[in-house]
Structure 1
């Protein structure tokens, strides 16, 4: 059904003077020392932040999801030079409450991205309709960062986003948006010129979280729902290779896979034939966020260790930074000055993710860090502008 060729040789090399190799449980319980690149605090926030975006002129935007306990966030905001937050795009967009219209409102933002044209893209998961419902207000949004003008609002038909589906993350190429569905497991491709969208790999094991691979977080604690069941997060992090030919993705608990983007876009290719093009990449542990640079290095935000690792095209896995400040990092970005920005929402410490009777272990305020990438790694990956010339 799929190609198990391991394109990466599994080796773990620390950037410091020692190698790290032990079980996830032992690693999670270990006393951590600081390893690799030093961290610089970029911002501290009262709201939980799981994603960041940066314009070419250095304006910093944050994604503030309405997760349990954080229902009153503005959803998206700009971090001003004095550290305060300015809701973006402003007005009714940031003031949604249950019962209000959701078409032109930020309901439950799961991620934001600012690509090379300086427009801001956001995934809105809409109102929670449960595992068997279709979320009202689930949509893909694109805004002009200069004035907050809405450039696109994309909704998907039930055949593409059926009951139980949850849009999770997205990446772009010169004409398409690629999205992961973490609710049921699938890759969705949207042709941004025609509006045509397709659902792919919905029945393929690479988009599904295996029950045998539990989502382990801090101190070896599994990520659990209030009823005691494991939190099922199917296809989640996603990246496109610098040449645009490969889409990388994985369920929360791993492993990492890739599929040719050309095959995903080929609506004449059967699901079986498409599944045969999927390749196993690396036996990763739980990941909540990723980034990729111009050299094809994949940066991995590990969930069961407070660290960022980098998987290089030659198959080596190196530690970029390991620090107790980095428990449960999320959606990372690389700036034009080769700095890796890391939001730390501490999602495994949320009471809602700690099973029956879960106790809130969040440490406030919430931090965003950055680190300078070593010279051996690449620059920010280029993403073609989708609104003509870059806004800046």
Structure 2
């Protein structure tokens, strides 16, 4: 027979065990890093203590196209006011027409991807579509790679960038295809134009928290090749339309300009049947973190294909391009489906627009 003291000890042990189990399954804490009542941020980059944010002009965002969060929590134009001062009829090549993405190259530069059109779905303006390299030490633009009319086509929406040695890859979410840039020469070329792997399937609508996103014509919005990541060994590019599925292709074939369209197309293979996502980031262990739009969730896909929901929270309504920096995963909640262009000209954005982060230690690896 158990003594009272033994029963008490057992009960206490059970309490501690229950508390430990609860702590192990506790949801990660969302930390507010920045917020705004006037700007919509779909992109973030973190360099040490500096936090950069950016967002497209067509969302109705009011403020710098690319901003550096100041000590007061407000973004100041970066690298300067001139680059953020584009006006119709001005020099499209020396100002941000419409910033869709920002990305660190790991070599001391921040790159800014400009679609070149101030309107959603509009054709790129002459000289407007470009990748702008900013040196983070001097805070000056050191290079601009313009995408000519043979690369940024009518209907193009140059979306995002990833780096692989002396090459860079970009997605075109408007005119479906990939763009490969030789960083030594600055020359760019299109590949996989209209290949099935880059075209948004009409049978997979963009479902955000239970509502289908529709364009100005009332039809379900189709966003072609958009999210993508490089494998850790840099030998494979994973990519897909916003609604999935994702495919894979060897980077050695992308990098070689002599690779024929037929050879490249034949090398494309299925990779993962991911749902509609706002954005993705790959960590140093090969885990793919992506933001699922239908459930307002941050999800982890392990290298073995196992999928785990990290956090589901209505505050994560259309998190766009996340990034990992300073031991945290940064989550810009863009609420893109709520902007006027997708709601008959009326904004349904719930202010403030917020940039969250989560401590990576809270995410079981």
Which band: TM-score by shorter chain?
0.7 to 0.9
Report if the CA contact (8 A) 1:38-1:321 is conserved.
no
Check whether the contact 2:93–2:146 (CA below 8 A) recurs between aligned residues: no
- Give 1 or 2: higher helix fraction: 2
Contact 2:43 2:332 in 1 (8 A): yes
Q: Aligned in 2, Cα 1:130/1:74: closer, same or farther, shift over 3 Å?
A: closer
Q: Which runs of 5+ in 1 are unaligned?
A: 1-15, 18-33, 379-392
Aligned partners of 2:160 and 2:170 also within 8 Å: yes
TM-superposed CA distance for 1:360, in Å, is 2.5
Q: C-alpha root-mean-square deviation of aligned residues, in Å?
A: 2.1
Matched-pair contact (CA < 8 Å) for 2:59–2:336: no
Q: 1:100 aligns to what?
A: 90
Cα separation, 1, equivalents of 2:263 and 2:157: 25
Query: Cα distance 1:35–1:300, how it changes in 2: closer, same or farther (>3 A)?
Result: farther
Other structure's SS at 2:341 match: helix
Q: Secondary structure at the match of 1:325?
A: coil
| Aligned equivalent of 1:387 | none
Matches of 2:66 and 2:248, distance apart in 1: 30
The answer to whether 1:346 aligns with 2:335 is yes
CA–CA distance in 2 between the matches of 1:164 and 1:226? 15
Alignment TM-score, normalising by the size of structure 2: 0.88
Larger RCO: 1 or 2 (CA < 8 Å, sep 6+): 1
Deviation of 1:133 (Å): 3.8
Q: Distance in 1 between matches of 2:187 and 2:102?
A: 22
The secondary structure found in structure 1 opposite 2:181 is: strand
Q: CA separation of 1:376/1:66 partners in 2, compared to 1, >3 Å: closer, same or farther?
A: closer
Give the C-alpha shift of residue 131 in structure 1.
5.5
3-state SS of the aligned residue for 2:82?
A: helix
User: Is 1:52 equivalent to 2:44 in the alignment?
Assistant: yes
- Name the CA distance, whole Å, in 1 between partners of 2:364 and 2:283: 8
Q: How far apart are the structure 1 equivalents of 2:122 and 2:311?
A: 40
- Is residue 212 from structure 1 mapped to residue 203 from structure 2 by the alignment? yes
Instruction: Give the paired residue count.
Output: 341
Measured in 2, the distance between the counterparts of 1:169 and 1:303 equals 19
Q: Are 1:264 and 1:274, in contact at CA under 8 Å, matched by a contact in 2? A: yes
Determine the structure 2 residue equivalent to 1:232. Answer: 222
TM-score (norm 1): 0.82
Offset, 1:101: 1.9
Match of 2:145 in 1: 154
What are structure 2's unaligned runs of at least 5 residues? 1-20
Q: Is residue 324 from structure 1 mapped to residue 317 from structure 2 by the alignment?
A: no
Matched, 1:368 2:358: no
Aligned equivalents of 2:119 and 2:312: distance in 1? 38
Asked whether the 8 Å contact 1:301–1:307 carries over to 2, the reply is yes
Tell me what 2:288 maps to: 298
Superposition deviation, residue 132 in structure 1: 7.7
Write out aligned runs for 1:85-164 (5 A): 85-128=75-118, 133-136=123-126, 137-164=128-155
Task: Judge conservation of contact 2:227–2:242 (CA < 8 Å) in 1.
Answer: yes
Distance of aligned partners of 1:88 and 1:179 in 2 relative to their CA distance in 1, 3 Å threshold? same
| Equivalent position SS for 2:83 | helix
- What do residues 281-331 of structure 1 show as CA deviations (whole Å, max 9, x unaligned)? 221111121100111111111121211101111110111221111010001
Question: Which is greater in Rg?
Answer: 2
Q: In structure 2, which of residues 39, 42, 53 is the aligned counterpart of residue 62 of structure 1?
A: 53
Q: Are the counterparts in 2 of residues 35 and 319 from structure 1 also a CA contact under 8 Å?
A: no
**For residue 13 of structure 2, what is the aligned residue in structure 1?**
none
Say whether residues 1:190 and 2:177 are aligned partners. no
Q: SS where residue 275 of structure 1 aligns?
A: helix
